[in-house]
Structure 1
Amino acid sequence: MTATLHPATNPGPRAAAPMPLLVAMMVSSQVAITIFLPSLPAMASSLGTSQAAVQAIIPAYLAAFGLAQLVVGPLADAFGRRRPLLIGLVLFTVASIACAAAPNITFLIIARIFQAIGGCASIVIARAIIRDTTEGAASTRAMAYLGMALGITPAAVPLIGGQLEIAFGWQASFLATAAFGAAVTVATFTNLRETLPPTERRTTKVGDLLRTYGRLVRMPVFVGYGLSVGFTGGAFQAYIAGAAVAYIVVMGVPPESLGLYIISVAVAYTVGNFASGRLSYRVHRHTMMWIGNALTIGGTATTVVLALAGLATPITLIIPLTIYSAGSGFVVPNALAGGLNSVEPPYAGAAAALGGFAQMGCGVLTTLVVAVLIQTSFLQVGAVMTASVAIAFLCFVMLVVRNSR
């Protein structure tokens, strides 16, 4: 592979994949991240392990998800989008069943790793399909609308998980995830056409793959967009990782009510994505990212102030967390589209994979930091969130803005 990566030119329109199917594909892997959150205390008791050990299934999933993308993305560039996607969905479904059958924490963590490997195909390939079939503002709009679904999912599914926990036990959340994965697999098999022609597919040789990644990481704009997404999303992963302990253990929120305190965050993210999609043809991508970064930093910093003042409760945290989440809805879809549009369509799989790796890597970092901190209030979670979005802003300014015309 000797082609140079450079900003894409418009090769002409291609048949778009059904948007509801792309939404379902991306949502499936997100369900697996948070549906079991209300069950974390029960899982620790059932498996005879500590709360910290059970929390490790979150960064384990994110780490495996991020690393697997580096392989799945190039495979999708070499063999097309459809086959790798279907294989990933089947693996995701089977691994979800294995999670429900876990007899101990070690087995559960291993099953979660395989669940993540399968689940990453949905995110990476869905984004690559969007790059195959859209350009410019249309790409931003598609990412924004997908982001609406991704925003509501992590907060909505704990509500379902809480009810499943009460009725059937912690295993039910993983079985429900498996059922959803199976449904998406069938829908993909029957409705998704290939979007990457054989003539545009790329080699899978290790040397060429490493050279492709080498070129990508030397593109400051691409890297800046990727890290902006990663650390903005990393703040949310820190929130998800710390919410169960901060709300249930420290603040005394019932497990079945956890999702109610998270839902406003998801709704705000959805609203931000919707606004971003509507404005994509009229407002420059960078303008929306400036606005979004201001909101994310302001919102997360306010949670720290509330915690230091002893005023952090589930109710008082709603407003600043909502502000952060709305800002994320401006940052994430614009950065995702900007990163993918900075490379040619045949490299979209590798670009989506590397961007996803950065995103998950940041999520692993923030969740691990939260997991090792002793949570006596929301202060630790808020501090990690604030640091994460501040880094995202610096990456945007130093790498994207300074290197853009």
Structure 2
Amino acid sequence: MLCFLQPNTREAALHAQNTLLRLQLIAVMRILRSLLGTRAIPFTNDERREIAGAAKLLGWREASESLFIGAISTVRGWFRHLVQRHQRTPRKKARGPGRPRIAGWIERLVCVIARRCSAWGYGKILGMLGMNGGSLCKSTVANILKRNGIPIAPVRTRQSRRWKRYCAAHWRQFAACDFFTVPVITLAGIRTVYVLVVIHLATRRIHIAAVTQHPDSVVMRNVARALTMDGGILAQWGARILLHDGDGIFQKTGFDGVASGTVKVIITAPRAPNMNAHCERVIRSIQEEFTDRFWFVGDTALRCGLAEYCRWYHRHRPHQGIGNRVIDPGPETGTAVGSIRMRSRMAGTLVHWERVAA
């Protein structure tokens, strides 16, 4: 059975409920004010819009008597700015002055083309760019190269022809040779013996091509034939380029004339020892590790000693130029079974350590 309250009783109940809610909200606002201090209550724009709309619907005069979150002027300001004013669409970010920036992929492609094709000028770069959907002018290409520190085509061409790049392009085909001298005791006294060393740059293999006191035309021509013949050491290495310095022994004895028939002979520039640095370094190793520690009696003793050094050099000596590996490793190299013992050659001058089978 439903019981409807009389109008006066209903209004009294609603008034009591509103009074209770108001007292609770006043208490909550007092606590919030004490926590926030002088700071404003952080209402969102949606909350401000709803409060301002309800106050407008109730009437500003009646709403001013019920507001306790702020002044009526503040709520009216919310109404003007958030309810009456239409929502504006966000404005696009204004573009700065000047031309728009070049697309990133276009700039990267220009740099790649310029570095890869050093002889290409602005025109060829533009042509390749146009084939791939890019459109620029020559001045823009010039600015891109300048911004990325890439020089113009003539400078890039000179840089691309440097000796280091040439060696890298023909690394497997390069062999170098050079002379060094060793004092030898003979019956006629101390004589100087010339030793010709040949090295393959890619593998670091060496070959003693000549040991003689008189590197005349007969000796040097025979050495050139032995090096460049079919089945010779250069053919075994796959070398097609022979590098040496401007020593008169090579040119005056006809060595270059014989060798140039099958391989390309390159003479280093004057006062440029770094062009033949690998051969210079292996000669230093031979001298420091072997020849400077002995007195040799006769050419034969020197030849036998150098042959023993070459065997040790290829089979037991690690080389930093090829990753600290041995050129011709034996079956015991790299194993982890057995005890380690030191082996020596040439009166303990050439030593190495290896595993001994159990």
Shorter-normalised TM range: under 0.3
Report the structure number with the largest CA radius of gyration. 2
Give the structure with the higher percent strand.
Answer: 2
Q: As a proportion of its length, which structure holds more helix?
A: 1
Using CA pairs under 8 Å that are at least 6 residues apart, name the structure with larger relative contact order, 1 or 2. 1
